[in-house]
Every structure is written in structure tokens, then in C-alpha cells.
Structure 1
Amino acid sequence: MAASSISDVLPQNFAYVIFTFVYSYVLLMYLGINVGRARKKYGVKYPQMYSDKDNTFNCIQRAHQNTLEVYPSWLILQLISGLAFPLSSAVLGAIWVTSRFSYAHGYYTGDPEKRLRGAYGYIGLFGVLILSVVAGLQLLNVV
């Protein structure tokens, strides 16, 4: 019995999906480091999550927290859609991750409305959701 390689198991071009996962890890580390820096700058000690004195810290914290809230769902959808449609999924994943940088930088201004600069990320999120549904329908031989 010959040993199989990863390319025998995963679809061609799945490497691009893997790169979106790596890109998303960079995003999470970046946002987390920024929260740590903001803690020092605004004097918010652990385990306190928010500041009673400075809304800018709260905005920096929320940018990270909101990303973490949606991240598990995005990971699952990115994986499912990536197995069926690796190139499309990778592009949509890159859009979503990039949008989270825009979202955070808008939020970092201290004006929560400016977080909407990252609203284009819904293209990526809903895109991988739709592709995941299509992948499920394909497995059921519906489409």
C-alpha cells in the first residue's frame, strides 16, 4: 500500500485556502497585540475587559472581540467551501480577513460608526456561506 500525500486528499488549489487561514491568524495576532498596547496606554488592567474612562480603548477591545465572535463560524464555512471551491473560497476568505483590518482601523478612531469601513467583509462571509450550502447540496445530488 503506497503512502498517500496531502494532494491525494485535498483538492487542487486548496493551498490558497490554507493561506487564508494563515492570513487570518496574522489578523488575530495583530488585533490582540493592539489590545495589549491599548491596555498599557489607557491603564486598563487585567481582567477588566473595558474602560470606564476611555471609549477609545473600548473600541479597540471591541474590534478584537467582535472578530473573535464571528471567527469560529467563518473558519467552518471557509473550510467547507474551500474543500468544494478552493479558489473562490480563498478569494472570499481574503476579502473577509482584509475587511477585518478595515473594520478594526475604523473602530480604532474611537467613533464606532467608522467600523462600517469593513462592511465589505460581508461579501466574503456570505460568499463562503453560500458556497458551503452549494457544497452540501452537491453532496445530496440536488445540484
Structure 2
Amino acid sequence: MVSLEIPAEYGYVLLAATSTFFVGSWLGGRVTSFRKAAKVPYPYEYASYEQVQTASPPASKAMLQFNCAQRAHQNFNENHVSALGAMLIAGLKYPMAAAVLGGVWSVNRVVYAIGYTNGAEGGKGRYYGVLWMLAHYVMIGMAGKAAWDLAMA
């Protein structure tokens, strides 16, 4: 049987993990504000292509920004569980690296979301925050290594 010892630095991993909850809440709030500006009622998740194309230029822009904010939030939701899990697992063996990568992930999710809604054609501003993806996959690799080492101990 393997005993598991939590490293003293694991608190930093937990702080980085907690930062992701604040980012998710912030993203949800942004979607709400963009929804109001675009006048897209609940329960509709996005403004349709037809709505965007037939709206006045200011309304069309507001709808596009809402769609981009919604998509940034959805992308966060799609990746949050695997990033959080990888961060927590990797932190068992590599606490400082996992904490730093988790912080990079959170900060770049904010940059991604702001870039997505900055008005660039097709949300191309999201690429400014693409570093989240590198941090994400490195954490997954580190989690795999930590899990392997634990299983082989």
C-alpha cells in the first residue's frame, strides 16, 4: 500500500485552484452584462446568425460581443474540470510548478475572454490568451507522470 504525503507547498496549488472559481464567476457575470446589452432573452444561449445579420450595426455588434463572451465562458467550462483535476493531481508531486501553471491558466483565461470580446473579427483577440492551453496540457502531462509514479511506487 502506498501512503500519500501532501507536500508543504500544496497550499499554493489550492490557491491556484481557487482562482479558477473566481475566473468562472467573473466570466458568468460578463456574459450577463453582454446579454443585457445585446437584448438576448433567456433561455436563448446565443444570438442566431440571422439575428446578427439583420440587426442594426450597433445591435449586431452587441450580439456578436455577447456570442463571444458566451463562447469564452463555455470554453472555460469545457476545460475547467480537466485543468482543475490535473492541477490537483500534479500538485501532489510538483506543487510549485502546478501552482504556477494553474495561475498562468487562470490569468490567461481572463486574457482570452477579454480578447474574445474586444471587437476583432471573429473573436481573434482570444489568441492573446492562448497560453492557457499550454499550461493546461503541461499540467495534464505532469498529472500523468505524478499518477504513474504513485502507481509504480
TM-score range, shorter chain: 0.7 to 0.9
Counterpart secondary structure, 1:83: coil
> Which residue, out of 142, 145, 152, partners 1:131?
142
Q: CA deviation at 1:12?
A: 1.0
Matched length? 135
Q: Distance in 1 between matches of 2:23 and 2:93?
A: 25
- Contact 2:17–2:88 (CA under 8 A) maintained in structure 1: no
Distance across 2 between alignment mates of 1:21 and 1:140: 24
| 3-state SS of 1:21 partner | helix
TM-score (norm 1): 0.88
Q: Residue 131 of structure 2 corresponds to which residue in structure 1?
A: 120
Conservation of the 8 A alpha-carbon contact between 1:94 and 1:124: no
Partner of 2:60: none
Structure 2 gaps, min length 5: 53-62
Task: Give the unaligned 5+ runs of structure 1.
Answer: 1-7
Q: How far did 1:21 drift?
A: 1.5
Percentage of pairs with the same residue: 33
Q: What SS does structure 2 have at the residue aligned with 1:48?
A: coil
Which residue of structure 1 aligns with residue 58 of structure 2?
Answer: none
Matched-pair contact (CA < 8 Å) for 1:63–1:103: yes
CA apart distance, 1:80: 0.6
- What TM-score results when the alignment is normalised by the length of structure 2? 0.82
Equivalent residue number for residue 15 of structure 2: 19
Q: Which residue of 1 is the match for residue 108 of structure 2?
A: 99
Distance 2:26 2:42 in 1: 19
